Structure formats: C-alpha cells, structure tokens
Structure 1
Amino acid sequence: MHQRKSRVKQIEGTILTGRSFEPVRGRVLVEDGRITAVEETSVDSTDIVVPSFVNAHTHLGDSIAKEAAVGLSLTEAVVPPDSLKHRRLAAADRDEHVRAIGRTLRFMERTGTASVLDFREFGIEGARVLREAAVDRRIEPFIFGSEEPAVLDYADGYGASGANDEDFEERRAAVAATGKPFAIHAGEPDATDIHPALDLEPELLVHMVHAEEEHLERVAEQEVPIAVCPRANAVLDVGKAPLSELLAHTTVALGTDNVMLNQPSMFREMAFTAKTFDVSTRDVLRMATVNGAEITGRNCGCIEPGREASMVVLDGDSDNLSGTEDPVRAVVRRATELDVADTIIRGESVE
C-alpha cells in the first residue's frame, strides 16, 4: 500500500510572527495546509510575510450597488427596510447577485483576506446566494444570516440589524438553542440601542461608535468582542468609535462594512485606522488578523506552528516598500494591494 507523501512548502523573508508580530528573518514551513515551523535563518528574500487578514464585518450583498449611496445619510443608505441598499438588493437578479459577490470575494482573497464575517440580508435565500458565490473561492465566509431562525440551517450564525429596529428576543432564544453565535449592530447612529443589544447577550457587537463607560463596563463583564468599521463610520458621518477604550475592555476586530460604501481592502482600513486613532500599529494589525479569526474560532490570522497556513507575502523591495525601517508599520500604514506578491490560504496560493 502506497502512502501519500506530504508536500512541504517554504515561504522565506521577514516573517511577522506570533501575536506580537516579532520580525524574524527566515522561513515558514508548511505541510498539509498547516504551519509546522518558523525557522530563523539567513535568507536572500526581501519579502515580508504577514498573517492573512480576517475582515470582521461586511455586507457583501452590496456588491451590486457600489458607490450608489454617495451623500446619503445612514438611514437613507443602509437602514432596513426602505433604504437604497435594501431596494437595490430586492430588485437584483439572482445570477447578477451571485456574480457580483463572487467578484468581491475574489478581490478580497487576492489581496490577502482569508476569512470574512458577513451579515447577509434576505434570510435563507441570502445565505444561499453567498454560499453559491463562494463555491470556487478559497476565502471562507462566516455567514451571519437574517430574518427567520430557519436561516441557521444555511448560515453559521445570526446577524441582527439593531435592537431599536425590531424585537429580537424570540429569535435570540432560537439562536441560543442551536449553539450558533448571535451578532448585532449597536451604537452606530447613537447610544440608545447599546444596552438593549447587550441585554440580548450577543457573541459579537458591531460598531459601538457611541459607547460610553457604562456600556464598556458591561462589555467587559460579558466578554463581548466588537467589530469596528472606521472608514464606513466616516463615510456615513456617524462619528468615531472610542477605539483605545474599546481595546482596553475587550477584543476588537476590524471590518470594512458595506461594499457599497468602501472597497473591502484591509490595507486601506488598517492605514485609515492607524492614522486616525491613537492606537499602536501592532494593535491595528491584530485587529485585522488574529482578533477577527478568534471571534469565530478560526485558526488563522497568526504565524506560528500549528496554525492554519494562511499568509500574505508582500514584495519588500517594491517601489512602495523598499527602504522600510519598521516592517510592522510598513504593513499597517503604507502597504497596498499592489505590494502583494502572493496570497496563501490553507497552504495553497490563490490564483
């Protein structure tokens, strides 16, 4: 009987290792989609090897209406049920919708994102559309479905619009019975829906722009992680999240929010966040990688033995990155999609 031989892959360069992203000159050894070792050794490569990104909050359905909401308020642009977004989604041809989401997923995986946490509108059919769009992609969408609890037969969790929009208590109980996570928007237009959202004991809060100390104390007590979307908040003019305070109280991950408003580029989201808020570049890189992964139990977002081998290889000698003195700062504040030499998801390069 012949035994299959595992193929060992080596990725060389300056490797940003562990949760602290300590730069190590050497190579990453990959076998069967997992990182088996990080070896410090002399190498010729000028590449910078970074853990793949996890986009912690998107609305990929908006791929059919890019830049359609310019100049609109939050309510006019995205609030259900009558916003421009929901009218466009309701009118979309199914095949068109699948193609549009598929192209967005392809952009994301080619630019370093291995996993995405998506809020899907339109219940079971919405979840099915995203599953179909992702069939030929390596990126893994974690789907937070909507509307009826039966969506959980097709989705990975439930995503609620906001506690002021409708009563979610019955659906929250139904979700709890399945053991799947419940996520909800909170504190985006104002603070009035934050306590009601926390009363639902969610596994994830999104936005928390208007969080105050009384809310943060509950967040810490309930150990609820938060996904923040700074560029979308700026576009919709709803304010700036108290990011340093959020980080002091819980796990915070980074998302790009509506594709209609912003391209799902983690490079742009990191740079905007690092240059707008008083937080460290390492905090921002953690928000873009391992924090988002751990919210949904994914084993990516960190380069260390035993982790999923999902990494972004950046050309450290590109016209943009050549001469970089601090690779972590360069990745967070300077790097762009044009610097990506390779994206590896579960040990295989993305085509």
Structure 2
Amino acid sequence: MQTLIKNGTVIDTEPEPVVLGRVDVRIEGGRVAEVGPELDAPPGAEVIDAAGRLVLPGFVDTHRHTWQAAIRAAVPDVGFDGYLGRVLGELAPRYRHEDVYVGNLAGALECLDAGITTLLDWSHIQLTPGHTDAALQALRDSGVRAVFGYCHGGEPGAFAAETRRVRAAIPEGGLLTMAMAAFGPEIAPEEHADEELRLARELGLPVTAHLGVSGAESAARGLAFLEARGWLNEDVTYIHATSYDDEDLKRIAGSGGAVSVSPLDEMTLGMGYPVTGRARAAGIPTAFGIDTVTCAPGDMFSVMRTAYVLERGRPGGGAITTRDVLRMATSEGARVAGLAGVAGSLRPGAQADVVLLSTATLGMAAAQDPIGAVVLNADTSCVETVLVAGRVVKRDGRLLHHDVPAVLGALAESAAALV
C-alpha cells in the first residue's frame, strides 16, 4: 500500500526542525519513502490533499500514566502528596480489569486524536496479571505506537516471572515494545531496585524511572546507586529530574542518559521547576511527558507552550526556541523513548507517523512561521488527519476504526464505578 501526501507545507525535525515548504511525502510499506516536490502518485496509491495544512511527524509522549483517563481532573488543586494519597492510595486499588482496559484505550485514543502517535505508557496499575493483560490489549486495539512501561505492583514474589511473561507476550517488530518502568532506588527498597535492574539487563529492556524528584539527598543517593551497579548509562530515562543540580545533570549527560520532563504536572503538583533548559544545556536528550490527566491536560500543544514559557521566563534561561521545543516533542522524544530512527521524523526509512494540522482556523490563519505556529498557536482542534505506520487513524477530524461514543460510554461507567 502506498500513500502520497501532496500540496502541504512540510515540517521535518531531523536533525533539526526545518520548514521544507510545499513538498510531497510518499509512504510505502508503512515507512516514509520519499520527500520532495511534485512527486508522482504511484499506480493505486491513496492521495491525500494537504493543501492548507501543515504536515509534520507525530508527537512523542515519553511519560504517561494512561490508565488514569477515567479519573481526569480528580485532583486539580493538590500537591504531590495529595495526588499519591487520592489517586494511588484510594482510587488505584479499586481498578478492575475492565477499568484498566477502557482507561488505556480511551487514553491512547486521546493521544491519537491530539496528534500524539507514540506513547510511553508508564503503567503502574499491574495489580494482577489480568490488569496487565487488559492494559496491553487496549494499547494493541487503539492503533497507537506504544512503549509499554511495565511497573509491577502485584505480589512481590511474582515480579520476575510476570515481567518475563509480559516480555514474551510482546513480539519484535510491531507497534508495541517494552521498557522497565522501575520504582527505582528513590522509591523502592534497594533490594527491589536491584532486582528491577538485574531483570532489565537480562531481558534487554531500557529503564524509565522517577529519579531526582524527591530532594537533593534522595537524588544523590539514587545516582550513587545507579553508578555502583553499572546503570549510569544510556539505557536510563530520568523522569522529572527536578532535584538535580547542574553537576548532577552533567554526570547524566556524560553517561548518555535521557530526561523526560512534564512541566505542567511538575508545577501543578509542586515537584519543582522543570529542568527543560538546564538538562538541554548539559547535553542531555530531553523530551516531554504528559504524565497524568488527573491534574493536567492530555495534549502536547499545552505541554509545549508551558515548557516554552517557563523556560523563557526562568531567571538565567530564555535561550530556548520554538524549534527546540518542537524537536523535543518529536525526534528528540523518539530518542528518549528508545525509538530513534523509528519515530519522530519524516526522513526516508522512518515509520510514517504523520500529522496534518489545518491552518484554516482563526487561530492558525496567516501564520508567518509554521514551526512557531505549531508550538504557540495550534491546539487539538487543528489535528485533522493522523497516520501511524502509514495507516490513517484519523481523517477529516474524526477518529477511524473505533466507535468513539461507545468508548466514552464505557469510560463514563468506569468512572462512576471508581469514584
């Protein structure tokens, strides 16, 4: 199957964001085959007319607790302790298998609807194997490209066996891959953190963990733990990282590690000022995560704008540009998610995860800088067409392949049962 996207204003992001102008994108076998002017449509190809649209890679969300879609805005005005108490202490234990399924399905469809084509689902609702299977099935059914961040929350003695079972259930080469979503040395006892890291190494899994978010002492202890066990390396993503000083960030940069920032939740929950600019200045691959919709919106436009404004207004900051921000939301996000060269760009050979944004709105019309418009002016209403691996999952502003009203009805039933 071939697809030709014609007449759009194309923005690529690798190696740096650039407006290519009025060029076409040819897709073959789920991958970008060619980008150039006046490309001919191969016989039998589907032609998508992108006139009046911006064409760019799909966004990459590197940290999202997708299962929480049914408890949106549950804790809008609390700090981090309030979030832990209400969401993880009270609501999470009530989740049934069907709640996990519909939460993950609705959350993943929310991503696609908003132009997020790649998602790292940091899933800490694994109360039983049935909960895990429900989360995985929902990701498969959604059509999103997903990294399943497995965080075991069931019987302690079952951790290793369950992790191996999940790894075996995710075949190579598909839209779904896996990471170790580790509690890590700042949250779990060292014995459990040791087991997480040993198992990740055995199974060849990258590690994504909440690190450097509980104060300077905890951050230093966590880094020392990782270094002692040979895990101060390129396979670790540090989520939030708000407690690290500039020297700590240089150590992480030297190790090849990455950082995922969630500027909305970090500010809303009082986790600390986002390290966006400091991490990038240190040379760390840095990307965005939505985190949770219990106290923040679930779209990348909101996150990009928040990160941009906070960094431009940070004392000693201000150097970040809209091009930096778009790169973090696309190609740099793919690097952080372990999908460099797979997602986040339109270079030939990359997976054809593509978003078409309409400019025929009062909020987007007459934009002089397309990249600036994506970061500062666009919103979810502009997301007109979305492709994942060359498959159209949203067309003319409407999600395909799913009965969205039925999903919303099931989500409402789940929310009523949980809350």
Q: Partner residue of 1:165? A: 187
Distance 1:183 1:206, change over 3 A: same
Q: Distance in 2 between matches of 1:12 and 1:33?
A: 20
Give the aligned residue type for 2:303.
Answer: E
Q: Which residue of 2 aligns with 1:272?
A: 306
| 1:344, distance to aligned residue in structure 2 (A) | 1.1
Tell me which amino acid in the other structure corresponds to 2:325.
V
The CA deviation at 1:151 is 2.1
Structure-to-structure mapping, 1:223-302, within 5 angstroms = 223-248=256-281, 249-277=283-311, 278=318, 279-295=320-336, 296-297=338-339, 299-302=342-345
1:105 alignment counterpart: 108
Counterpart amino acid of 2:8? G
| Aligned counterpart in structure 2 of residue 222 of structure 1, from 227, 234, 255 | 255
- Identity percentage over the alignment? 21
Q: Which of 21, 30, 37 is 1:40 aligned to?
A: 37
CA contact 1:256–1:265 (8 Å) conserved in 2: yes
The alignment status of 1:138 with 2:126, answered yes or no, reads no
Judge conservation of contact 1:211–1:241 (CA < 8 Å) in 2: no
| C-alpha distance in structure 1 between counterparts of 2:76 and 2:2, whole Å | 49
- Match status 1:206 vs 2:239: yes
Please give the TM-score of this superposition, normalised by the length of structure 2: 0.77
Paired position in structure 2 for 1:305? 348
Displacement of 1:175: 1.6
Partner of 1:94: 97
Change (3 A) 1:214 1:318: same
- Aligned counterpart for 2:4 among listed residues 9, 28, 39: 9
How far apart are the structure 2 equivalents of 1:227 and 1:132?
Answer: 25
Query: What are the ranges of 5 or more consecutive residues in structure 2 without an aligned counterpart?
Result: 40-48, 153-158, 168-177, 312-317, 394-399, 401-419
User: What residue number does 2:417 align with?
Assistant: none
Does the residue aligned with 1:183 lie in a helix, a strand or coil? strand
Write out per-residue CA displacement over residues 268-300 of structure 1, whole angstroms, 9 at most, x where no aligned residue: 111111122131111111111111212312501
Give the aligned partner of residue 27 of structure 2.
Answer: 30
Deviation of the 1:44 alpha carbon: 8.2
- The alignment status of 1:346 with 2:346, answered yes or no, reads no
1:33 and 1:135 mapped to 2: Cα distance? 17
Matched, 1:116 2:119: yes
Query: 1: CA distance between counterparts of 2:335 and 2:121?
Result: 15
User: Cα gap change, 1:338/1:164 in structure 2, threshold over 3 Å: closer, same or farther?
Assistant: same
Kindly provide the CA deviation profile for residues 165-197 of structure 1, in whole angstroms up to 9, marking residues without a partner as x: 222112211221111112210122422332333
| Alpha carbons 1:158, 1:181 under 8 Å: kept | yes
In the superposition, relative to structure 1, how do residues 317 and 209 fare at CA in structure 2: closer, same or farther (>3 Å)? same
CA contact (8 A) 1:226 1:251 kept: yes
Cα displacement string for residues 22-58 of structure 1 (whole angstroms, at most 9, x for unaligned residues): 2121111111111111113599812101110110101
Letter of the structure 1 residue corresponding to residue 361 of structure 2:
S
Look up the equivalent residue of 1:129 and give its one-letter code. A
Query: What residue is the counterpart of 2:163 in the other structure?
Result: 151
TM-score by length of 1: 0.91
1:116 and 1:21 map into 2 onto residues whose CA distance is: 21
Q: Structure 1 residues 31 and 76, CA, compared in 2 at 3 Å: closer, same or farther?
A: same
CA distance in 2, matches of 1:7, 1:164: 48
1:176 maps to which of 177, 201, 206? 201
Structure-2 separation of matches of 1:153 and 1:217 = 37
- How many angstroms apart in 2 are the aligned matches of 1:285 and 1:57? 17
Q: CA deviation at 1:87?
A: 2.3
Cα RMSD for the two superposed structures: 2.0
Check conservation: 2:79, 2:268, Cα contact below 8 A: no
**In structure 2, what is the equivalent of residue 3 of structure 1?**
none
Question: Are the counterparts in 1 of residues 68 and 293 from structure 2 also a CA contact under 8 Å?
Answer: yes
Which one has a larger percent helix, Structure 1 or Structure 2? 2
Poorly superposed stretches of 4+, deviation over 6 Å = none
Change in Cα spacing, 1:90 to 1:308, as seen in structure 2 (3 Å) is: same
Q: Provide structure 1 residue ranges, at least 5 long, that are not aligned to the other structure.
A: 1-5
